[in-house]
Structure 1
Amino acid sequence: MPNIESHRLVVGTGTQAREIAIETRPGSAPGIFWLGGFRSDMAGSKALALDALGAETGRAVTRFDYSGHGISGGDFNEGTISRWLEESLAVFATTKGPQIIVGSSMGGWLALLLVKALAAKGEKRAHGLVLIAPAVDFTHDLMLPSFSAEEKAALENQGFFDQPSQYSDQPYRINQALIADGENHRLFGGVIEAGCPIIILQGGQDPDVPQAHAIKLVTHLLHDPVTLTLIPDGDHRLSRDEDLVRLRDAVLRLAEG
């Protein structure tokens, strides 16, 4: 069984340079490429389940932390969709052959932006997408409508506010730069094309990305084969043992399809 290789990649130049931590398991194609969620890291249960699947099946697996996340360098408070997409593209460029891209929450949005950017360069290595509670356009569609008048005022006057999180003891800082930059990457309102099969896993009890959001995404995917699996009692993380089995099965279906 090949061992995991840990390395770092510098993305950006000058004051924008940051070191991105990457863990790669060598193996066969199609490989598995992991895109985590907002404030998550590559040591989470879903990412590790995918690494275990790679070890079991001999497939290559690539995981990494966005800047300001996990063990990567950079400041989370400088994070934007543009910045994290740039890092995703840079890490993807280190992979070889076709890849099954697995994106969770914000990673689902980044997965679709990644294949869009690759297609614009004529690169079609996406073998399939697995999107877990995909938070497409979340800065506009999910965040903005939930902000209170006080939070909106704080964004305008000081450029940020701190929001309590059910996933951490520390509040999440929401920056105006993140919200403003998200406007440059909105996908809803037009046809979304991935150029490969897509499997969506969505929890019916997800308080952060409601099932209606996943259905909305499906209505925009007009040219790709799409399977939406609604898990009635599933939450946002979808990290229970039975959820991880569904994730493994989804990846294997695409790999063997």
Structure 2
Amino acid sequence: MLRVHDLTRRFGRLMALDHVSFEISAGTIHGLIGPNGSGKTTFFNLVTGFLPANEGKVFWDGRDVTGLPPHRISRLGLARTFQNTSNYARLTVRENLVIASRNHIESSALARMLHLRSARSEEARHGRSADALLERFGMRDLADVQAAQLPGGTQKILGVAIALSTNPRLVMLDEPLAGLNTGEKAQLMTILRGLCADGLTLLLIEHDMKAIMQACDRITVLSYGTLLAEGTPEEISRDPATIKAYLGTEVA
């Protein structure tokens, strides 16, 4: 589904990502782990077009999408979240979801300007999609709450819902559990597993090793910009190089 080959990014003399190659299979939850500074977020930025690669290729369904801008990457079905909350703070929760769903607009600009039936019908679909996500994420009672008024953890969960509003096939989640309490973590992981069961593919950067080991089908480990290991959670938890570089002896 998603394949990267020799993906490389330098910042001056710093090698942030050094000829990294791996692939993600459709319908799986794939973990991307590693110490801080190992290149995980840089990888996200390269794949989604927020940064250009110095070398290497990104393939989506066999198509070379290297260097495409973020809006074109998104329209191909790749969505992402960010470490920090990312929403329209002054808009309501529902309005955030509706705006994100407009990533895929089929009616013409003229139809929207004149409020023709095709544009009204499409806008109604965006509203229904937003309502479905509100229900799935347990946020129906927060629909009319301004995003800025939400607690930090709830804003993180909203960020995931916003990514889902673009109707993606692959969602790349950058530390989705950071800042969430225990109940919020359990709620979000249940939702994510349900989305995967429905056919969505997920790539997670996460430092919560318990969640990663329980949820992921495969895990890729980065260290200092290089690919250190790849395998099932069981294989990664027993890999000596990973334990030394990141997991710690208590996980072995």
Q: TM-score, normalised by structure 2?
A: 0.28
Q: Which has the higher contact order (CA 8 A, sep 6+)?
A: 2
